[in-house]
Structures are given as C-alpha cells and as structure tokens.
Amino acid sequence: MAKLNFGTIEENVVTREEFTLKMAREVLADETVAVIGYGVQGPAQALNLRDNGIRVIIGQRKSSEKTWEKAIADGWVPGETLFDIEEALQRGTIIQYLVSDAAQVQLWETVKKYLTTGKALYFSHGFSITYKSQTNVVPPADIDVILVAPKGSGTSVRRNFLAGAGINSSYAVYQNFTGKAQQRAIALGIAVGSGYLFPTTFEKEVYSDLTGERGVLMGALAGIMEAQYSVLRENGHSPSEAFNETVEELTQSLIRLVDENGMDWMYANCSTTAQRGALDWLPKFRDAVKPVFEDLYESVKSGKETQIVLDKLSAPDYRRHLDSELATMRASELWQAGATVRQLRPKK
C-alpha cells in the first residue's frame, strides 16, 4: 500500500499503479459479477467493469420497463448479460447490491436465498449493514461481505472513467469468509475505475456519507445558496446579479480553482478585497454552522436519519411527494434564474 502523509497522520491507500488493472483482472478471472439494480450507481459501475474486461451481468426486473430498456440501450443482452433479478443472483459469484437503501430492505429475503457458500456480497454504501437492527439485512456467515464506495454520483463515476481520470473510492471488509475478501474488494474498486482507494469501515462510510450528503455536498450547499440569493434579492439586486454572485461564479470559476490546487490557491487567485473578506467571515460561518453539523452527525449516528429514510422511501406515494418537492425547487426564482443563465453561457 502507498502512504499518504497528512502532517502528523499517515494513511495507507491503494493506487492504480501498485494494484494494476491487470492484477484486478487476475483476481476476478473466475468471477461473475452480478449487478443488481440499474438505477444510479448500477449503470456506471457495470459499464466500467465491462469496459475493463470483467465478466458482468445485470439483474433487473422486466416490470421496471424504463430501466430494463435503458440496460438494453447500453448494450446488455437479455438472456446473455441481462436477466431477471433472481436468475442474475443465481448466476453471480459476486453480488453487487446496488438498488436503493429502501429497496435493499424490501428485496433482502430474495437476495439472501442465493448467497451460497463462498460468494461475495458487495455494497457501495454501509447503510443496510450498519443499521441492520432497522433493516434486518444480516448476511449468512459463509460469504464475504465487502464495500467499495465511489465518492461521487453514478454519472460522475462514468464520466470520470471515460475521461481517464477515475474517481476516488473507499473500501471495507465486513466479513472475510474465504480469506480473499480484501483482494476481491480492491480488485473491484480498481475495475470500477477508482482513482485511488482508501480504507474505511461500513460504519464510518455511512456516517460520513449521510453527513456529507445532508451537509456540504447537498443540503447545506442548497440552503446557503437560497439564503444568500434571498438576501441579495430583498436588497434590490436583479435575479441575474443575485444568481451569478451566488451560484454561477462558484460553479464556473471558484470551485474549479479549489479542485485544481486547494482552497488556499483559490484564495490566492482572487482579489485582495475578496481574500480579506473571506478570511474575516470564514470563522463566523464556521462557528454558526458547526452546531448544526454536530446535530446532524448525532442524528446519523443514532439511526434517526436511517428511520426517516426507511419510513419515507417505503411509502407507496413517495415518488409523487419527491417529484413535488423537486418541482417546487425547480420552480423557485433562484433555479429559474439558473436555467436562464445557463442558456446564456458562451457556447464551446
């Protein structure tokens, strides 16, 4: 393993240079990877595995007509590489369980029937295993249970792979029956296109993931944008000005500088007026939101967030409510302004 040095802390990681794709192919040579679910992560991971020469099949219900047709459009062939879920479960030696968290609970009794001795059960989220007292997802003792969690959406996993960049992933072993669980996990992590792999546990993965999604990555980001946009509009700024100062400059300029070389480098490449203001206000924002993050983390750790997910996502009218909530967001002035501004971006 390679070592990353974070000042006083060292971290062991796995890179594509030390665990090559050739090595991953050798580890997985006799495996059939059955990807169960073709929604968010499923297509990206399955296509990346296939493109990297791994034997992959898809398990998807024909009754989910839109998803079944998407799989066919992506080149999966019914009866050859595309099967009903139960047949794919039977054929697979590694089961990539990539349906949604709520669907994992609903489908578990079916999946469990096909987890015969020596197979591997693969997750990309620690949710079902960590909160097993709520999900009742308890794997049999005679299989490997592993995790590879790409740090990005399925869309990003595929786009980065096609661009040759990859996306970083965490990996973990929950159960090592065969003695080769870690090798299986790392090989799959490399084969799905990870930039590098860092070790975690199922518990730490889900705690960090749920906190991140509800926090900086999605919930906090959207909330802060709404707050700043509202204040600017209330003080007489036009929708274009408010949106550009709140969203467009962040996504089209500043966050790209952060990605390129870090936050300090982004600061160094802004005006001295912007630097001074940012440095002065940073601690105020940090101190204001830290208690919110502490509440959020405790809600995740206690299982409260898990119960909310399971209760809401299992409701028969959940999709209708979700579409309504997203439509409300889309119809807001902030994101209507965004739609207009995006159309006015210079064409490449």
Residue written as token pair 């295993």: 129
Between CA 168 and CA 83 the distance in angstroms is 30
Closest CA to 60 of 206, 74, 48: 74
Dihedral over Cα of 244, 247, 252, 257: its sign? positive
Identified catalytic residue from 125, 158, 184, 233? 125
Return phi, psi of residue 198, to 5°. -120, 140
Closest CA to 68 of 37, 99, 100, 111: 37
Between CA 136 and CA 129 the distance in angstroms is 8
Closest CA to 245 of 340, 345, 338, 348: 338
Q: What is the DSSP string of 193-262?
A: TEEEEEE--HHHHHHHHHHHHHTTTTHHHHHHHHHHHHHHHHTT--HHHHHIIIIIHIIIIIHHHHHHH-
Lookup: tokens for 37: 């679910």
Query: Is 237 designated active site?
Result: no
Pairing of strands 33-36, 9-15: unpaired
Closest CA to 55 of 91, 12, 106: 91
Closest CA to 201 of 119, 140, 260, 145: 145
Between CA 163 and CA 158 the distance in angstroms is 9
Between CA 58 and CA 83 the distance in angstroms is 6
Q: Confirm if 156 and 167 have CB atoms less than 8 A apart.
A: yes
Residues annotated catalytic, as ranges: 125
